[in-house]
Structure 1
Amino acid sequence: MELRQLYYFVRVARKEHVTQAAEELHVAQSAVSRQIHQLEEELGVKLFVQKGRNLQLTPVGGLFLKRAEAILQDLEKAVTEIHEFLDPEKGEIRLGFPHSLGNSLIPQVVAAFRKQHPNVKFRFNQGKYNSLIRDLVKGDIDLAFISPMPSEHDQVSGEVLLTEELYAILPPGHSLSEAEHISLNQLAEEDFVLFSEGYSLRPIVWDACERAGFSPKIGFEGEETDTIRGLVAAGMGVSLLPELALYHTGPLQPAKVRITHPNVTRTIGIIRRSNERLPLVAKVFYSFLLRYFHSKENG
């Protein structure tokens, strides 16, 4: 069975006429008829019956049409992906990232990249730490921003892009809100507003509190940095957030105070599937990210 036979079959099925299909294909009518006849002989079934001047699909021909169309669509998709792979200026990057990077970091780096590569498209996927790694391993995304950077993983590898400081955020008017800096144990008796289970910032904050000599008392939990920030600003408790999550304007904002003991940071990295070649457009973006954050660090 040849792909040409499938092309001819699908076109005849759509037109219900050999002559019209041949004209659209820019080939002789006899060539189309011959390919359809050979296909029917190979399958051992009749795909069409004559109905007046037109052809009508048989029941088995209708079943075969669905499969043939799906095959040709998959082939067309594969050809498109190859062209995108070969031409990084016309490709698409499937990028995953955690919610905490969505407010400022992702828009900044994507905008900077598209200044140099304006025709590249992005397909975004926000998710939790474990789901981002899972989606990357499955092949649903090409690259993922991740925090913290995995120390060891058999199926993914990558680079640390930056290390970010976490700040205490306090309700406006809190007794420590005007302090230049604090020790984390000064918040030992406060209610904490924490990320829900599965979000990478939760264990970072929890570990920092335990290093300061206490386990945080959970007052509220949330799944978005905007929620955490808003609850703290409304006086529902205190929390720790990275600086990138604090770029926000509005009437209700928490106070931001540096923590000097212990020093609380998180790493942000970019990861890819190990031992697998990236699509060229994703490779270009990966190299751009390394240069972009290196220049920020040294700038």
Structure 2
Amino acid sequence: MEIKQLKYFIEVAKREHLSEAALELDIAQSAISRQITQLEKELQVTLFKREGRNIYLTEEGKQLFSEATKIIEQLDETIRLFHNQSESNHFVIHIGYVESYISQVLTLLIQSFENESDSIVEPILMEESEILNALLTDQIDIAFTELSHEIKQNHTLKVNPLFEENYHIYAPKDDPITMATNPPLAQFSNTLIYELYALPQSMKQILGKVIESPIRTVTHPQLAQYLLNHQRAYIITASYHLLDKNPGKWVDISLEHTELKRTICSVTRKDNKKHDIQLMNATIDQLLSRSATYH
């Protein structure tokens, strides 16, 4: 039994007239007759009784008419449901982002965009390893992530480099390394280092080549400051994460001169036709340029 057959049957049943149903459906009368015959053979019943040029529903035909009408109405309702969902989703922009400086400015970006648009933004914090696949499979519309070789080589993507993200390290004030100018990462090889919040995997790989001890994680500035106050460890973190100044206890050393840096970019699919996606990209350009600075 096919949906097409049920639709043909319903039109004939409503009118009890083949030629009128054919006219309404804009198909040949013979095509309708053929489909009705196939339906009767499949169900092993007679749906219409024929008297001259007139046709009438049999009891079985009346029963099928009731059930078929319910089926087609449910089908139409399902189609409307998905059409409405698709239309509604057209006005939602899903932003996937990795933990970075973007987290600090995302609220401003969303507010600026939504003040100018009928669309809304749904932000989704994601792991670096999953964000590209989410973009390529339409789970998100825009990605804020590290500019990788894989992203650079994908010609289906529109890539907009935004800014370079750097790192710094806090060292106990009496440590001799605080006297060095632009110390290389190798000078920290024998020290105990904690990361304030988890570093990106690419940055951990760079550090892993020169730091001998495992890098541990703390997720609260107060704990990081305690470790520094008691000269227990160094604290490494992104440049936009700052501890309260305490010149008597520790020194802030910039690592901007080292290889410990990454470029953050926004990425969209070139074939994304979602409503106001261009406005969102323009808002990103306005608020987050490649020369952006932050403290």
TM-score for both structures, normalised by structure 1: 0.60
CA distance in 1, matches of 2:130, 2:293: 32
Kindly provide the CA deviation profile for residues 8-29 of structure 1, in whole angstroms up to 9, marking residues without a partner as x: x9xxxxxxxxxxxxxxxxxxxx
Map residues 1-299 of structure 1 onto 2, 5 A cutoff: 44=39, 58=67, 67-80=75-88, 84=90, 91-101=91-101, 103-117=103-117, 119-149=118-148, 150-169=151-170, 175-176=174-175, 179=178, 183=183, 184-193=185-194, 201-207=200-206, 210=209, 214-221=210-217, 227=219, 232-235=224-227, 237-244=233-240, 246=241, 256-259=252-255, 261-262=257-258, 264-274=260-270, 276-294=271-289, 297=292
Q: Deviations over 1:13-69 (max 9, x none)?
A: xxxxxxxxxxxxxxxxx9x9569x979x978489xxx9xxxxx964x7766665443
**Structure 1 residue 159, shift from structure 2 partner:** 0.9
Displacement of 1:140 in angstroms is: 0.8
CA distance in 2, matches of 1:189, 1:97: 34
Q: Is the 8 A contact 2:162 2:290 kept in 1?
A: no
TM-superposed CA distance for 1:80, in Å, is 4.2
**1:265–1:298 CA distance, 2 compared to 1 (3 A):** closer
Alignment RMSD, CA only?
A: 4.8
* Offset, 1:292: 2.2
The alpha carbon displacement at 1:216 in A equals 4.3
**Per-residue deviation at 1:155?**
4.1
1:156 and 1:186 map into 2 onto residues whose CA distance is: 40
How far 1:77 sits from its partner (Å)? Answer: 2.6
SS, match of residue 266 in structure 1 = strand
Aligned mates of 2:120, 2:243 — CA distance in 1: 27
Counterparts of 1:159 and 1:182, CA distance in 2: 30
In structure 2, distance between residues paired with 1:217 and 1:140? 38
**Alignment check: 8 A CA contact 1:205 1:240 kept:** no
Q: Kindly indicate whether the alpha-carbon contact (under 8 Å) linking 2:193 and 2:234 is maintained by their aligned counterparts in 1.
A: yes
Amino acid in the other structure paired with 1:215: I
Alpha-carbon shift at residue 178 of structure 1 (Å): 11
Q: Deviations over 1:91-143 (max 9, x none)?
A: 221110013346412123223333434x4311122111121100000011111
8 Å Cα contact 1:168/1:258 also seen in 2 = yes
**Number of residue pairs matched by the alignment:** 243
Mapped partners of 2:219, 2:237: distance in 1: 12
Q: Structure 1 vs Structure 2: percent identity of aligned residues? A: 10
Question: Residues 93 and 142 of structure 1 are in contact (CA less than 8 Å); yes or no, is this contact kept in structure 2?
Answer: yes
Per-residue CA distance 1:163-222 (angstroms, 9 max, x = gap)? 12211145xx564599586523332222334599xx872322432564xxx23421425x
Distance 1:271 1:260, change over 3 A: closer
Structure label with greater radius of gyration: 2
Secondary structure in 2 matching 1:218:
coil
SS at match of 1:284: helix
Look up the SS of the partner of 2:136 in the other structure.
helix
- Give the Cα–Cα distance (whole angstroms) in 1 for the partners of residues 173 and 293 of structure 2: 36
Q: Distance in 2 between matches of 1:189 and 1:126?
A: 34
Q: Is the 8 A contact 1:168 1:259 kept in 2?
A: yes
SS in 1 for 2:139: coil
- 1:21 matched to which residue of 2? none
C-alpha separation in 2, matches of 1:271 and 1:73: 31
The DSSP-based 3-state class of the residue aligned with 2:122 is strand
- Residues 158 and 269, structure 1, Cα contact 8 Å, conserved in 2: yes
Q: Matched residue of 1:271: which SS?
A: strand
Unaligned runs of 5+ in 1: 10-29, 51-55, 85-90
